[in-house]
Amino acid sequence: MSATEMSAPMDISMPNITECNVPEQEAAIFEPPAAASAPPPPPPLINEGKVLVSVEVLLKPSSTARAEDVRVAVERMLEKRSMSYADGPIPVPLDDTFLVDNVQRICICDSDVWLEKQDILLFWQVKPVVHVFQLSEEGPCEELSSDGQLASFHEWILPAKEFDGMWESLIYDSGLKQRLLRYAASALLFTEKGVNHVLVSWNRIVLLHGPPGTGKTSLCKALAQKLSIRFSSRYPQCQLIEVNAHSLFSKWFSESGKLVAKLFSKIQEMVEEENNLVFVLIDEVESLAAARKAALSGSEPSDSIRVVNALLTQMDKLKSSPNVIILTTSNITAAIDIAFVDRADIKAYVGPPTLQARYEILRSCLEELLRTEILSNSEFQDGNHFFIPSFTSLREQLNSTVSPDTAYPFHLSKQLLAAAEACEGLSGRALRKLPFLTHAALANPYGCEAGKFLHKMIETSRRECSEMPE
C-alpha cells in the first residue's frame, strides 16, 4: 500500500459489505483453518551465528533497582552458568544478593519454537536477550459512556499484573504466537528506522478472526503485554486501550459520534508522547460492519454511518503515528469485509484447538488441579513437582520400541490423550471449563484420584460435544 493509499479517506460506500471476499494476496497470509496442515514455525532469529533467545526478568513490586543494572547482572549470571536453554524458569542464584533482593522471576521464553527434535539449546548456541520489567498493579480505568451504562473503553498500563502468564497459557501448535510477535516487532522496527512508506509499505493493524472462544481477545491482550516487555527499552511506557465497540454503536448514535471523538482525542494525547507505546484493541469489529450495513439498508438512522465513518477516519489518522498498534478481532470466519480490514497487514485465522493443543490445554489444567491438591496422584509426581509428559514426548513414547509402561508415567497420559481426542470441536474456552464441569459431576469431589478424574472427564467431554449447537 502506498503512502497515498494509507492516508486516503476510507471508502465507506462499498456496495455489499457481506459478500465481498478477502482478496487473494491477502488471504495468503491468513492462518489456514485448523483442518489444514499447520504451517512450519518461523525460522530462528540468528545473530553472529547464534540463536536469539528471550530471557524475561520480572522485578519484585518493591524493587527500585534500575532495569539496566538488573539486565547486566542477569547477563553476567547467565554467562557464568554455561547452562542449557529450554523454556521455563531459571532459579535466581541465592548467592547473588542483588538479584535475590530485586528479582521475582527469570524465565526463558520461546526457545522451544526453534527446536524441532532437540529438547534444549546449549549455551554456546545461544545469545540471550534479556528483558527486565515490573508489573503494573493498577487495574483497568473505565470511561463511562454518556448514558452512564456501558464503559466506552478500558485502559491498562502495561505490562499489567492482570495479563501476567496469559501469553504462556494460550496454546496454538502452528507457530501463530511467534508469527504475530515477529510481525508486530518488524512493524515497530520499520517505523523506528524511518523506512519510507512509499518504497516499502506496511502498517500496524492486526486482525485476528475465527470462531468464538478460540482466544482472539486474550491473544490480543497477551500480544500487547509481550510487546510492552520486549520493547521496554525503547518505549518505557505502554498502555492498552480496549474499545467497547458495542457501546460505541449504541442506539444513541448522535452521542456515539461524540464518544468516538472523545476516545480518539484521548488516544491522540497518549500517542503524542513519543516514549509511549499505545495499543488500541477493538474487539468484535463486525459490529462496525453490522452498523454500516444497517445504515446502508436504511434500517438504522443515517447517524450510524457517520459514527462508523468517524471511527475509520480516526483510525486512519492514528496510523501515521509510529507508536500505535491497532489490534482487532472478529468472529466472522469466512469473508470479512470491513473497510479497515483492507488496511490490516497482519491477519490471522485463529481456529479451534488441534489435538496437540487440546492435550496441552488439558495438561495445564490437570497440573493446576494437582498443584492445588484438588486431585491426587503419585504417578505424575516427581518430588514436589507434578510432571505430565508433553504431547511430543508422549507421541515419541507411543512410537518407541522400548516398553513405554516402564519408562514414564504412561497410563494417565494415555487417558489424557483419550480425553483430548474426545473433545474434538470444543473451543479453547470450553476446554478450560471442562475440568471444572468434570469435578462438579463427581460423586465424591474430595481427594479425587487423577485416573478416576480423567475417566470422568472423557465422559463429560463427550456430553459437552453432543450438546454443542450444530
Q: Which positions lie near ligand ATP, rule CB under 6 A?
A: 169-172, 212-218, 329, 331, 353, 357, 361, 428-429, 432
Quick check: 121 and 51 in contact, CB under 8 A? yes
Residue 213 binds which entry of ligand ATP, Mg ion, none, with Cβ cut-offs from 5 to 8 Å by kind? Answer: ligand ATP
Question: How far out from the chain centre does Cα 65 lie?
Answer: 29
CB of 424 to ligand ATP, least distance (A): 14
Closest distance of CB 441 from ligand ATP, Å: 20
Minimum CB separation from ligand ATP for residue 93, in Å?
Answer: 32
The site partner of 111 among Mg ion, ligand ATP, none (C-beta below 5 to 8 Å per kind) is none
For residue 153, the partner it binds in ligand ATP, Mg ion, none, with Cβ less than 5 to 8 A by kind, is none
Which residue, among 197, 225, 219, 193, has the nearest Cα to 206 in the 3D structure? 219
HSE, CB side, 13 Å, CA atoms: give it for residue 384: 0
259 binding partner (options ligand ATP, Mg ion, none; Cβ < 5 to 8 Å by kind): none
Q: Which is nearer to Mg ion, 177 or 363 (CB)?
A: 177
Beta carbon of residue 217, minimum distance to Mg ion (angstroms, whole number): 3
Query: Which range, of 217-225, 353-361, 381-389, 431-439, touches Mg ion by CB under 5 A?
Result: 217-225
For residue 365, what are the contacts with CB-CB under 8 A and spacing of at least 6? 431, 432, 434, 435
Cβ–Cβ under 8 Å, residues 251 and 389: no
- In the list ligand ATP, Mg ion, none, the entry touching 215 (Cβ below 5 to 8 angstroms by class) is ligand ATP
Rounded CA gap, 318 and 27, in Å?
Answer: 25
Q: Taking contact as CB under 5 A, which single stretch among the options 6-14, 131-139, 209-217, 371-379 is the one that binds Mg ion?
A: 209-217
The residues near 173 (Cβ < 8 Å, ≥ 6 apart) are 38, 354, 356, 357, 360
Task: Select the binding partner of residue 460 from ligand ATP, Mg ion, none (C-beta < 5 to 8 A, by kind).
Answer: none
Q: Pull the grid cell for residue 325.
A: 498498534
- Cα 31 from Cα 148, distance rounded (Å): 39
Identify whether the C-beta of residue 453 lies closer than 8 Å to the C-beta of residue 438.
Answer: yes
Q: Which is nearer to ligand ATP, 352 or 389 (CB)?
A: 352
Residue 55: strand pairing partners = 108, 130
* Cβ within 8 Å of residue 141, ≥6 positions away: 154, 155, 156
- Say how far apart CA 171 and CA 214 lie, in whole Å: 10
Q: How far is the CB of 393 from ligand ATP (least distance, A)?
A: 19
**Minimum CB–partner distance for residue 216 and ligand ATP (Å):** 4
Helix (H) / strand (E) containing 155: strand 151-158
Measured from the CB atom, is 163 or 253 closer to Mg ion?
163
Q: What is the DSSP string of 369-406?
A: HHHTTSEE-STTEETTEE----HHHHHHHHH-SS-HHH
Min. distance of Cβ 33 from ligand ATP in angstroms?
14
Total residues binding Mg ion (CB under 5 A): 1
Instruction: Specify the residue, 370 or 426, whose C-beta has the smaller distance to ligand ATP.
Output: 426
Asked, as a colleague might, if the bond just before 159 is cis with ω within 30 of 0, I would say yes
In the complex with ligand ATP, which residue's Cβ is closer, 215 or 409?
A: 215
**Nearer Cβ to Mg ion (352/409):** 352
By beta-carbon proximity to ligand ATP, the closer residue of 190 and 349 is 349
* CB of residue 351 to Mg ion, shortest distance in Å: 14
Minimum Å distance from CB 214 to ligand ATP?
4
The binder of 167, among Mg ion, ligand ATP, none, by C-beta within 5 to 8 A per type, is: none
CA dist list (Å): 411 to 63, 163, 286, 405: 45, 35, 45, 7
Residue (109 or 132) nearer to ligand ATP, CB: 109
Closest CB 167 distance from ligand ATP, rounded Å: 10
Q: Which stretch binds Mg ion (CB under 5 A): 66-74, 211-219, 363-371, 420-428?
A: 211-219
- Cell numbers standing for residue 332: 466472522
Locus of grid cell 547477563:
75
By CB under 5 A, is residue 217 in contact with Mg ion? yes
Q: By CB under 5 A, name the binding residues for Mg ion.
A: 217
